[in-house]
Amino acid sequence: MTHISSPISADASTTGRAGADVLRRNAVTVTGADDAPVMVFGHGYGTDQTTWRAVADRFADGHRVVLFDYVGSGRSDISAYDARRYDSLEGYADDLIEVIDAVGARDVVFVGHSVSGMIGALASIRRPDLFSQLIMICPSPRYVNDGDYIGGFDREDVLDLLAAIETNQPGWAASLAPAVTARDDLPEVAERVRDLFATTAHEVATHFARVVFLSDVRHRLGEISVPTTVVQSVGDIICPPHIGEYLSRRIARCTLVRLDSAGHFVHLTEPGLVAEQISRAL
């Protein structure tokens, strides 16, 4: 059993200096047997790897489970945040590729929430050798409406959202968290999401939001060669239900799973259900 509770404890003789730096930079944690199949979990905007714990722990007995924080999130090294590198989703795809290389993995199952679904897609296009499967939870290739494409937000809505983060991040977090979790019966989940949104470094929260909500990966979907499962919450205001069908028609080897659930953070509100769908995809 291998457990890297802190990336600083990584063995530089096996990862190399550069690999050890990546493990530290992205606060990588690894559980499970060294020779087991590898699963990597990627978090969405404004959150961190802890949001995956209730799901990921269920796979540690049979897999090598890798969790990490994108630079600027969670316990990552904020000093490594470079606005030029992270001015597009490609910079975050770089993070993911470097994390997988640093832990010496190949043929990984990547499970990505929200924007991490598209980050994983971009990484798999560049390095298909690293991936055996993509599992996207509530992903979207484009959040802004564009002609006949309905992403869910008018451009003015996104600009208003960005302005709210810029001027009053705590207030924005408090108003958005209940709407995106959409579970009045689970106020503790809304509080957790609110706290994560509110405590993300302000520079990162504003810049990453602009990158995410103005991103457009639609033209790259046909390049995805890795088998893909899209898990769609039918009550998601961030990623409307029809987006799952849009993705399934444009990704060559794609299975669409619709969850009878509410909200964008189904891995927090329904971890057992999400884990069950991941197991079926595996």
Residues recognised as catalytic? 114, 236, 264
Which residue do the tokens 């995106």 mark? 180
Alpha helices in the chain (DSSP H): 12-25, 53-56, 89-102, 115-126, 155-167, 169-181, 187-199, 202-213, 242-250, 266-269, 271-281
Phi, psi of 165 (to 5 degrees): -65, -40
**Residue 122 DSSP SS3:** helix
DSSP string, 32-51: S-TTSPEEEEE--TT--GGG
The DSSP secondary-structure symbol of 140 reads -
Rg (CA), the chain: 17
DSSP string, 242-263: HHHHHHHHHSTTEEEEEEEEES
**By the 8 A CB rule, do 46 and 80 touch?**
no
CB atoms within 10 A of CB 215: 19
Distance of CA 217 to the CA centre of its chain: 15
**Residue 105 DSSP SS3:** coil
